[in-house]
Amino acid sequence: MAQIIPEMSPAAATIFRNIQYVFLDRDGVLNRKAPEGAYITRPEDLELLPGAGDAIARINRFRQKAIVVTNQRAIALGLCTDNDLYRIHETLCSLLSAHDAHLDAIYYCPHDYGQCNCRKPKTGMFEQAFRDFRNANTSNSVMIGDSPTDVEAGWRLGMRTILIGEQCDWHLDAEFVKPDASAESLLDCVERLLGFATP
């Protein structure tokens, strides 16, 4: 029996037409952020945000790619290692799996400020993803994050951008961090803006 896909809202159909690759920040989008000035350095510190698992599952069901791009300065500060981060991401994938959800790739920047071309708002992680996913490009991708640096990274590449979370009005007067849309949560974003409602 043919699966009936619900129609996307007119606004989302116009702004976010043909999205096939969903780029996501990690902390504050998929999982709860550490307190100000602190970092998630152990698997047991990781806690999925409400609705995040369902949101990724919906992206998966619509056969779009879910790709994490995350700054992880804790490595540069010596607070955790690459192996620690690998274990944290194993936990993240396990928590998502409980919701029948999966990530297609995770890219991270381990560097401190000014040391690389991959730390957002620079674009190195995205450029690597575009090399790895040959069909991905700026016209069929969207960046979803909870900070102006996430939006600026997408803006630099010409990608569409969505800013989510309680502080989704940060610096929206500044042209370079102005997102195409804002949402209360990742689940709100994939349902209302991207049109990935439950088939």
Residues serving a catalytic function are 25, 27
Cα–Cα dist 125/18, whole Å: 22
Cis-peptide, bond into residue 121, ω within 30° of zero: yes
Beta bridge partners of 107: 69
Per-residue tokens: 184: 């209360």
Cα–Cα dist 160/141, whole Å: 7
What phi and psi values does residue 103 have, to the nearest 5 degrees? Answer: -100, 145
Q: Quote the DSSP letter at residue 43.
A: G
Q: With H, G, I as helix, E, B as strand and everything else as coil, classify residue 157.
A: helix
Cα–Cα dist 27/29, whole Å: 5
